[in-house]
Amino acid sequence: MKKHQDNSPAGLPISVRWAAIIGLVIAAALAFAYAGGWLTPARLTPAKIVDSLAPAGGAIKGYRRNHAKGICFAGSFEANGEAVAISRAPLFKVGTYPVTGRFNLAGPIPTMSDGTGRVRGLSLRIQAPDGQEWRTAMINPPFFPVATPADFYALQRANANKQDPAPAKQFAASHPALRAFGAWASTAPYAESYAQDRFNSLNSFVFTNAQGHDQVARWSFIPTTAMVAVPPEDLKKRDPDFLFQDITERTAAAPQKWKLVLTLANPGDPSADPTQVWPDDRRQIDAGMLVVTRIVPEADGPCRDINFDPTVLPKGIRTSDDPFPAARSAAYALSYDRRTAESEHYPRIQSEGKP
Ligand code: HEM
């Protein structure tokens, strides 16, 4: 009788092929377990970071897990061509490019009072005609309170129990940047309008021009409206949505403008640490003007479904050795996944000017 022939392409016995298949399944399961952090409980995962942002009662469903309160806008970026010297990104060539953006307040609670928002944010998506995009989410402090994503998580944990201030005190004792941030937070004026706030990338990126030259840079959007500070004793008396009402009214009356300034690092300037401010004398390039023309309430507005992921960059800008953008990208994606799976809790339209 003829013996059974193994006709597999590899000519391997069936037991070996089964072992290979089972091995692959186990490897895939282990890869998922690793990605989920089950094999390495001490490893920092996006889920741990995002969970740590939640308020005591749990995350507010349907909303961003941080910077939950916001208002959307439409406008444009008017490039003057100056930044072409350091970047071949198409949206730096002289021209006008559409922008969708969002003014926001740091914190996980969408109903927070504007007067209590110490950290204010500006998120932008600038679109080039060829489909490339530059997404950036900036804040108004001049530097970040922590130097690494691991410290960001450690700080969240230290602040978790409001009844016990000891861990936060301990953290501050060993982290001078957090103490410096505390000094900024307790002394910097609260502008009466987003139109008067300066928004900073804080993270460093690498800009590459048409000749292939790399330049590390940070950027800021600088207001063209003079700062008027709200007296600290008035902050709590203001309407909980005063910033949102203000920007809605101002924009209805006239376009609101911020100048984009790129700050170029000198060799050796710290690019991996957003707690470190570069010296004042660094070369700057005035790259153009952000023009906000129309405010759109958050509910059902175009921002709801945008993830302002700071690693979505056009060719000519890329991430640097700064560890934050990658960590932020992973956390924003998870926050996005969670909130878009909770559509029944999405913000509802209340009234004009309200989030
Ligand atoms: C490891 C550090 C950080 C973590 C874990 C983190 C986490 C988050 C998360 C989860 C969101 C909500 C994203 C969404 O659902 O779309 C968010 C939004 C935001 N973050 Fe961060 N963040 C970090 C650092 C920063 C830094 C360094 C800045 C600015 C320099 C920043 C500015 C913003 C702004 C402006 C928003 C609002 C974005 C929007 O309008 O959708 N964050 N952050």
- For the stretch 302-326, pLDDT in tens is 999 999 999 999 999 999 999 999 9
Three-state secondary structure of 45-88? CHHHHHHHCCCCCCCCCCCCCCCCEEEEEEEEEEECCHHHHCCC
Quote the CA–CA distance of 306 and 328 in Å, as a whole number. 15
3-class secondary structure, 227: coil
The alpha carbon of 12 and the centre of ligand 1 are apart by a number of angstroms equal to 52
The pLDDT, as a whole number, for residue 1 is: 46
Of the residues 66, 124, 275, which should be mutated to test ligand 1's pocket, given the most ligand atoms within 8 Å of the CB? 66
Contact 145, 177 (CB under 8 A): yes
Q: What is the mean pLDDT of the chain?
A: 93
Q: Is the pLDDT of residue 352 over 70?
A: no
Q: Whose CA is nearest to atom 23 of ligand 1?
A: 328
Q: Is the pLDDT of residue 107 over 50?
A: yes
Q: Is the pLDDT of residue 125 over 60?
A: yes
Mode of pairing for the β-strands spanning 256-264 and 133-139: unpaired
Which atom number of ligand 1 is nearest to the Cα of residue 309? 16
User: pLDDT category, 301, cuts 50, 70, 90?
Assistant: confident
Of 67, 175, 213, 345, which is the active-site residue? 67
Domain ranges, ordered by start, for the chain: 17-50, 53-141+188-345
- The tens digit of pLDDT for each residue in 153-209 reads 999 999 999 899 999 999 999 999 999 999 999 999 999 999 999 999 999 999 999
User: pLDDT category, 16, cuts 50, 70, 90?
Assistant: confident
Contacts 24+ apart (CB under 8 A), 279-285: 285/82, 285/83, 285/85, 285/86, 285/261
**By percentage, how much of the chain surpasses pLDDT 70?**
94
C-alpha distance from residue 68 to each of 53, 77, 180, 250, 281 (Å): 11, 25, 25, 23, 36
Q: What is the mean pLDDT of residues 15-33?
A: 83
Residues 89, 272, 215, 269, CA torsion sign = positive
The H or E element spanning position 28 is helix 14-35
The alpha carbon of 8 and the centre of ligand 1 are apart by a number of angstroms equal to 52
Whether 175 is catalytic is: no
Q: Whose CA is nearest to atom 25 of ligand 1?
A: 328
Q: Which residues does ligand 1 sit against, CB inside 6 Å? A: 49-50, 53, 64-67, 70, 102, 104, 121, 123, 137-139, 144, 149, 152, 202-203, 274, 307-308, 324, 327-328, 331-332, 335-336, 339
Size of the chain, expressed as the number of residues it contains: 355
Of the options 2.60.40.10, 3.40.50.620, 2.40.180.10, 1.10.3290.10, the CATH number for the domain spanning 53-141+188-345:
2.40.180.10
User: pLDDT category, 354, cuts 50, 70, 90?
Assistant: very low
User: pLDDT category, 39, cuts 50, 70, 90?
Assistant: low
Q: Which two tokens stand for residue 72?
A: 């959307």
User: pLDDT category, 36, cuts 50, 70, 90?
Assistant: low
Q: What is the mean pLDDT of residues 243-254?
A: 98
The alpha carbon of 303 and the centre of ligand 1 are apart by a number of angstroms equal to 14
Which atom number of ligand 1 is nearest to the Cα of residue 335? 15
Q: Whose CA is nearest to atom 41 of ligand 1?
A: 308
